[in-house]
Chains A and B, each alone.
Chain A
Amino acid sequence: MLAPSYATPREKLTYFLFAVFCALVFLFLIGPILVIMPLSFSSEPWFTYPLPGLSLRWYVDFFTDERWRIALQNSGIVAVFATLIATGLGTLAALGLSRGNVPFAGLILSILISPMIVPVVIVAVAMFFGFAAVGLNNTYLGLILAHAILGTPFVVITVTATLTGFDRTLTRAAASLGASPWTTFRTITLPLIAPGVTSGALFAFVTSWDEVVVALFLASPDQRTLPRQMFSGIREQISPTITAAATLLVFFAALLMLTLELLRRRSERLRGTGG
């Protein structure tokens, strides 16, 4: 299937080896995630195959233990608000930049994207010092603002990508037909860029949901998030409850990926490019 029809036997062998190599890389990519999931259904607290027996006790543990419950709740609160801020500001900025007449647009874009590039420990330490001065350490607001910053580059990137294929005559037509800028935005622009906005928002949400370093520096035990709870658990001794939490997060990731793929297709359809 891979080799072209005119391939010689030696070429066919090369293609076969190439396919085997790729299969091994795919195994490497997905294997660790597949291995950890069944262990969360083990009836015993050690990590061996074959499983000694099946049980849901680690999931019961996860949902009933006070610490995990609070961590889950904190993660939810912080991620939702951080996503709202990141999506709102990021979408506006992408709209502004795409109009093509902002002075120093290149420089501004690099600044807006830089939270994705700067090592997260530097962000965490800098905010730890800076937030201490204004009393934002150990508060939900501090953590939300920090996570919003980390999420904005994703929104800017995805919305900008949607806008590059955006047909500007549509908004001009709306304006010439008497629509106010707000009406144009609401009824023309927003529906068209919605897939990009949503996938940006999903990325921003996941960034906050998975973030552990900033949470380690800025959050007190009261604001401990799910990744932070997992991190302190891993440091001591990996309990199967952590594998249960990990499995739930993998399902969450799969759901997210599915949503992103559907959004991508919808965006392509709306813009009339591709299938």
Chain B
Amino acid sequence: MTVATLEGEAGPAVDRTSLKTKLRRAERVNRARSFSLVAPLLLFVLAVFALPIGLMLLRAVENTEVRETMPRTIAALDAWDGRETPGEDVFAAFAEDLVQTQKDRTTALVGKRINYEVPGARSRFLKAGRLIDAGGGGPWREKFIAADPEWGSVDFWAIMKRAGNTFTPYYLLTSLDLRQDAEGAVSRNFADQSIFVDIFIRTIWISLLVTLATLVLGYPVAHLLAILPPRHANVLMILVLLPFTTSILVRTTAWIVLLQSNGVLNDILLALNLTTERVQLIFNRFGTVLAMTHIQLPFTILPIYSVMKSIPPSHLRAARSLGAGPLTAFVSVYMPQTLPGVGAGCLLTFILSLGYYITPALVGGPQDQMVSYFVALYTNREMNWGQASALGAILLLITLALYALFNRFVGIDKVKLG
């Protein structure tokens, strides 16, 4: 208050600055008030959603198993030059670590981690554990190599040393069907382990098929809904919205009932004499794409519809009156204007299709499972969390890149629901 009076005495110029300051302060308070409304949700999403995902991404490169269970071996390998089989110091440290891992029952854990990169390592570690349990002392180098000459392999120890690093590119490389040999050079992975690029290509391919199918089926329907008088359009809209609000699980169940070999569709085909025997419609690519198309169709239709709705019908009439044929008028005047909706609908469907898990799992065969299925598989069954996280990280990267594209060209705030 006092300051303001003093400034006031200094003349009108200063007064204006003071007004500006006050305005700026008021704006700042206002901004802070707006932000405080957003903050609770932002913090909630960051803490419960973004943070766990960040930690999962970290898990894709994290490599603590060997470092934590075999600290002495890793320390001893630090001084090893990697030219020939390590000396007794490394083996003695290894034996000491094995005593501890046998006690903690973690030998199999280390063995499993090394086994990813050196096939057969797990059983060798378990055997070494039994060797330690049998008692007796060193020298360990000869003892281990006598038990299994592979313990003398330079490559094995090089990989062991690398497995002691805090971070590893192993899981990400494996997800891209690549491997790092003992010298650290990256090359294509062994054929029997190169399954992941295929899975990514399959995921993208299925998503493309579904996107295309929804566009071909959805575009005419969106057009129909846009040109019909509202009274009729509203009734037909129900047929789009009812499946949209029905549980995905219910719709997937419906497709199983329809498609299975003694199901409704096969009954119809037989009754119409279209086939002489029951056709395999489910647990294959056809069933997967069909059921996914059914689920995604409203997502493609609705954005196209809302864009078509905003195109004045006079444009088409104008084109016709200027001499364009019906096809020319539609293709060169109407269709270009619908492109924003087509882009939005297709991109949305493509992004959402990439992440499908439940539907392919229930109506697809082994060859139709998408990346999400393998993320779940490596988490639940294989217990290979590094691999699950690496696959998830790549899927997430692709999804977020497309999401950024969507945001740039469409704007997520333009998405309408129902």
Q: Which of A6-31 contact B (CB under 8 A)?
A: 6-8, 11, 14, 18-19, 21-22, 25-26, 28-30
Which among A4, A108, A110, A115 is the interface contact of B407 at CB below 8 angstroms? Answer: A110
Which among B254, B352, B376, B392 is the interface contact of A246 at CB below 8 angstroms? Answer: B254
Q: Is A223 interfacial (CB 8 A cutoff)?
A: no
Q: Is A83 interfacial (CB 8 A cutoff)?
A: no
**Contact yes or no, A129 B55, CB < 8 A:** yes
Which among A21, A46, A92, A119 is the interface contact of B395 at CB below 8 angstroms? Answer: A119
Q: Is B247 interfacial (CB 8 A cutoff)?
A: yes
Whether A102 contacts B34 in the complex (CB less than 8 A), given A39-B257, A120-B355, A227-B249, comes out as yes
Q: Contact string, B374-400, partner A, CB cutoff 8 A, digits 1/0?
A: 011001000001001100100110011
- Complex: A101 Cα to B250 Cα, angstroms: 43
| B51, closest chain A residue (CB) | A130
**Contact yes or no, A89 B41, CB < 8 A:** yes
**Contact yes or no, A117 B50, CB < 8 A:** no
| A110, closest chain B residue (CB) | B407
Q: Contact string, A244-275, partner B, CB cutoff 8 A, digits 1/0?
A: 00100110011011001100100000000000
- Complex: A99 Cα to B33 Cα, angstroms: 10
Whether A115 contacts B250 in the complex (CB less than 8 A), given A125-B56, A238-B257, comes out as no
- Complex: A210 Cα to B253 Cα, angstroms: 13
**Contact yes or no, B224 A152, CB < 8 A:** no
Q: Is B172 interfacial (CB 8 A cutoff)?
A: no
Q: Is B418 interfacial (CB 8 A cutoff)?
A: yes
Q: Is A177 interfacial (CB 8 A cutoff)?
A: no
**Contact yes or no, B267 A2, CB < 8 A:** no
Per the CB 8 Å criterion, the residue count for chain B at the interface is 93
Residues of A within 8 A of B41 (CB): 89-90, 92-93, 112, 152, 156
**Contact yes or no, B242 A96, CB < 8 A:** no
Q: Is A220 interfacial (CB 8 A cutoff)?
A: no
Minimum CB–CB distance for B23 against chain A, Å: 13
Residues of A within 8 A of B357 (CB): 119-121, 213
A interface residues with partner B (beta carbon < 8 Å)? 2, 4, 6-8, 11, 14, 18-19, 21-22, 25-26, 28-30, 32-33, 35-36, 39, 46-49, 85, 89-90, 92-93, 95-97, 99-103, 106, 108-115, 117-131, 145-146, 148-149, 152, 154, 156-158, 160-161, 199, 203, 206, 209-210, 212-213, 216-217, 227, 230-231, 234-235, 238, 242-243, 246, 249-250, 253-254, 256-257, 260-261, 264
Q: List 30 A-B contacts (CB under 8 A).
A: A2-B227, A25-B217, A32-B258, A33-B243, A35-B257, A39-B257, A47-B264, A89-B41, A92-B40, A93-B37, A96-B37, A101-B30, A112-B41, A112-B45, A119-B371, A122-B53, A122-B372, A122-B392, A125-B375, A125-B392, A126-B55, A128-B379, A130-B56, A149-B45, A213-B358, A230-B249, A234-B249, A235-B362, A246-B250, A253-B246
